[in-house]
Amino acid sequence: MDNALLEELNSIATRMVDSGKGILAADESTGTIKKRFDTIGLESTEDNRRDYRELLFRTESAMKENISGVILFDETIRQKAADGTPLVDLIADAGSIPGIKVDMGAKDLAFHDGEKVTEGLTGLRERLEEYHQLGARFAKWRAVIDIGRGGDRSMPSYSCLRANMHALARYAALCQEQRIVPIVEPEVLMDGDHDIDRCYEVTELGLKLLYEELYYAKVALEGTILKPNMVIAGKKAGKQASTEEIAEKTVKCFRHAVPAAVPGIVFLSGGQSEVQATENLNEMNRHYADVMPWKLSYSYGRALQASAIETWGGKSGNVEAAQKAFAHRAKMNGLAQQGAWTKEMENAS
């Protein structure tokens, strides 16, 4: 990779983890956004999806102060606002960076019951070229890693981990070839009954395999962003870890597995509540900033949007209130990215 390309990619990646900012994951597929709209009794039409995303992107305070980038779905990156302005322009005009989800979803891994591998490499080079023309400057690919239930240590299998990390590396190399920063997302799900130590084991192994694959694929780490899970117990675990333990073990795991050349780590919320995701991120930045070589930030979907979509309810008269709810969550996470969030600030509004 020549120096000019590396500098371009690194500049974008660095902006994605600017102080007080993080990434809005607004890349819900058509099926996923329908589930969100079902909770508020709203039909999932193209116009309704557009109106909701436009509501978020026109929240000026959040977009300018606390959102460094927005991950879009294929439909959204092509859409225009009600007044005819391309949605990518709304994002860029606010000083945020448009991005794009490019994987085709997790599919069953042959002969591995319950395990998944993410697809979407076929034709990816051409799609990335088009997305760059449409304004995307970073992309996202999600790998899904599940942990066996009831103490089953056969899941995830080595084959599953290796297949997913290899796909992430191939995707990342193609992104950089097209002047797009790849977000690599190896998500260890928190759906099971595993304890925090089992999550640590799986997360550490997955990350070490990922960076091995990225090395072999000749991916420049300075032009990448990592989007992982926090090290946390499964939602069905008998014992839930404290915020302090989650922060301590997450930072320890990542210091063991993530190279210092990576500009930043943007956590997914992974089923945590809005406030829990904020509090855990804050704990890491408040107590461990001096031992971390990379920025720790957020790339949240539901943990940034849940209150906003509930407040909006699909009604035009609720747009301002929904924007206020979104701005509040963005501000709280911006504070957490700096280790400056407190429960008093959370409740002040």
pLDDT tens figures, 200-254: 999 999 999 999 999 999 999 999 999 999 999 999 999 999 999 999 999 999 9
Supply the mean pLDDT for the chain: 97
pLDDT(270) > 90:
no
pTM comes to 0.97
- Sequence ranges of the domains in the chain: 3-348
pLDDT(290) > 90:
yes
- Torsion angle of the four alpha carbons 89, 94, 97, 100, in this order, in degrees rounded to the nearest 10: -50
Cβ burial, residue 143 (10 Å; 0-12/13-18/19+): buried
pLDDT-above-90 percentage for the chain: 98
* Residues classed as catalytic: 185, 227
Per-residue pLDDT at 92? 97
Question: CA gyration radius for the chain?
Answer: 19
User: Domain 3-348 is classified in which CATH homologous superfamily?
Assistant: Aldolase class I (3.20.20.70)
pLDDT tens figures, 66-75: 999 999 999 9
**Do β-strands 106-108 and 116-118 pair in parallel, antiparallel, or remain unpaired?**
antiparallel
In the 3-class helix/strand/coil scheme, how is the chain assigned residue by residue?
CCHHHHHHHHHHHHHHCCCCCEEEEECCCHHHHHHHHHCCCCCCCHHHHHHHHHHHHCCHHHHHHCEEEEEECHHHHCCECCCCCEHHHHHHHCCCEEEEECCCCEEECCCCCCCEEECCCCCHHHHHHHHHHHCCCEEEEEEEECCCCCCCCCCCCHHHHHHHHHHHHHHHHHHHHCCCEEEEEEEECCCCCCCHHHHHHHHHHHHHHHHHHHHHCCCCHHHCEECCCCCCCCCCCCCCCCHHHHHHHHHHHHHHHCCCCCCEEEECCCCCCHHHHHHHHHHHHHHHHHHCCCEEEEEECHHHHHHHHHHHCCCHHHHHHHHHHHHHHHHHHHHHCCCCCCHHHHHHC
Q: How confident is the model at residue 271 (pLDDT cuts 50, 70, 90)?
A: confident
Per-residue pLDDT at 207? 98
Per-residue pLDDT at 339? 97
Bridge partners of residue 300, in order along the sequence: 24
Per-residue pLDDT at 349? 61
Cα–Cα distance, 253 to 247 (Å, whole number)? 10
Cα–Cα distance, 298 to 228 (Å, whole number)? 10
Q: How confident is the model at residue 166 (pLDDT cuts 50, 70, 90)?
A: very high
Cis ω for the linkage preceding 182 (within 30 of 0) = no
Q: Which residues contact 135 (CB under 8 A, 6 or more apart)?
A: 77, 86, 88, 89, 92, 98
